[in-house]
Amino acid sequence: MKRITAKGLRAKAALALALVMLGTGLNFYAPVAVATDEKQQQLENEKAQAQEKLDEINAQIEANKNNIANAQAQQSALKTQSNLIAQQINILVDQIADTQAQISEKQDQVEQKQAEIDARWEDFKDRMAAMQEINDRGGIAILSQATNLYELLTFNQTLQDISEKDNEILAEMDAARKALEEEKAALEEQQARLEEQQAQLDSKKGELAQNIQQLDKDISAEEAEKEANEQAAAVARQKLNEAAEALDAYIRSQNDGYDDVIFNTSMGFISPLPSYKYVSCNYGDDGHKGVDWAALGGTPIYAAADGVVTISTYHYSYGNYVQVYHGADTDGNTFATLYAHMQSTPVVAVGQQVKQGQLLGYVGSTGNSTGNHLHLELRVNGNRTNPMNYIPKPSVVKYS
Ligand SMILES: [Zn+2]
């Protein structure tokens, strides 16, 4: 059921002696217990602080992650917008190229029309010059040229008709050229409008590119911060582990030498007294860390559960007292009981295994006590706890 090494026993005996010697020089109540509680409290505080630090850093990492996700979502929206604008710009570039081709075509047409006008004009001038020459030679010349009378009579009219016809054609051609030039001007205006639109879109796209770049920088900065926080978290986690380890080690050290003790304590405690008179002081009254059961002097005190004796000595305040370590329950919680103010030297020694119900000593009033009573303490995981939560009351004694 349990096995205790000789080495463990010697170590425990030495520790108990050291604690007693430490206690004798001090004048407060239960110095050993107070000192250990302070140490444990300090370790618990350190662990809590390490946990708090780690929680803080983890919260920062969460914030970093949120910021990165937000920036990425924003950036993705901007990229979508930028792509749409790029598509619009492509369409405009096509339209501009198309317009330029149309302008070029119009220009060709204008030039062609001008060439026609010029040719027609040259032709007209040549004929007019010829007519002039005929006219200048006078009626004889006309006469000699004319092949018949009719021709002679209608010559002037013909000359006039030709001139009018030429004028009409030239005017039509000129109008056509002007129309072409106007069309060309309209196309040039259209091109200018398209180019302006493109410039606006280019500018908008540039702006978006800058915003996207800025978000890249923001994301990089946030990621660097997150990485630093993750490193800090690793350090904080390490510190928390160390603090937890230190606390565990301390709690274990309080039962040093008995780590390999395995008790079948489902913590079915029994009352350590067969009978008592009344509770003379409850746990928690004026900082009282145990329960006082007033009982007849000489009433036997029994082990509340199986265990091993870790202290059996005299103390100025506890008087003759015994501490029994009961090991851990199935949940890993450790238990120890302490029985103080015994009438005489306890009947058990340090390192001795005791069974539940085994005699430890007798009710008395040694140490800081004003009457026969058992001062009973219970430690759970090294912390003093109200024994009444775990240990049944004795039966009330009937006395004459
Ligand atoms: Zn007490």
**Domain extent listing, the chain:** 63-233, 261-396
**Is-above-0.85 flag for pTM?**
no
- Cα of 300 vs centre of ligand 1, distance in Å, is 17
- Cα of 363 vs centre of ligand 1, distance in Å, is 12
Sorted by sequence, the CB contacts under 8 Å of residue 277 that are 6+ apart come out as: 293, 294, 295, 296, 396, 397, 399
- Cα of 9 vs centre of ligand 1, distance in Å, is 28
pLDDT averaged over the chain? 82
Ordered alpha helix ranges (H), 137-148: 138-145
Name the token pair of 5.
Answer: 């090494």
> What does the alpha-carbon distance between residue 157 and residue 143 come to, in Å, rounded to a whole number?
15
- Cα of 283 vs centre of ligand 1, distance in Å, is 8
- Cα of 139 vs centre of ligand 1, distance in Å, is 164
- Cα of 71 vs centre of ligand 1, distance in Å, is 65
Count of beta carbons in the 10 Å neighbourhood of residue 30: 24
What are residue 261's phi and psi, to 5 degrees?
A: -80, 125
Q: What is the mean pLDDT of residues 33-45?
A: 68
Q: Which CATH class is domain 261-396?
A: mainly beta
152-195 pLDDT, tens per residue? 667 677 777 777 888 888 889 889 889 999 999 999 999 999 99
123-162 pLDDT, tens per residue? 878 877 777 776 666 655 565 666 666 666 676 777 777 7
- Cα of 304 vs centre of ligand 1, distance in Å, is 17
- Cα of 339 vs centre of ligand 1, distance in Å, is 10
> What does the alpha-carbon distance between residue 28 and residue 368 come to, in Å, rounded to a whole number?
11
What are residue 282's phi and psi, to 5 degrees?
A: -80, 160
> What does the alpha-carbon distance between residue 378 and residue 355 come to, in Å, rounded to a whole number?
17
Sorted by sequence, the CB contacts under 8 Å of residue 145 that are 6+ apart come out as: 134
- CA distances to 94, 98, 131, 177 from 106, rounded to whole Å, are 18, 12, 37, 10
- Cα of 291 vs centre of ligand 1, distance in Å, is 6
- Cα of 295 vs centre of ligand 1, distance in Å, is 13
Q: What is the mean pLDDT of residues 336-362?
A: 94
Which CATH architecture group holds 63-233?
A: Orthogonal Bundle (1.10)
Q: What is the mean pLDDT of residues 100-112?
A: 93
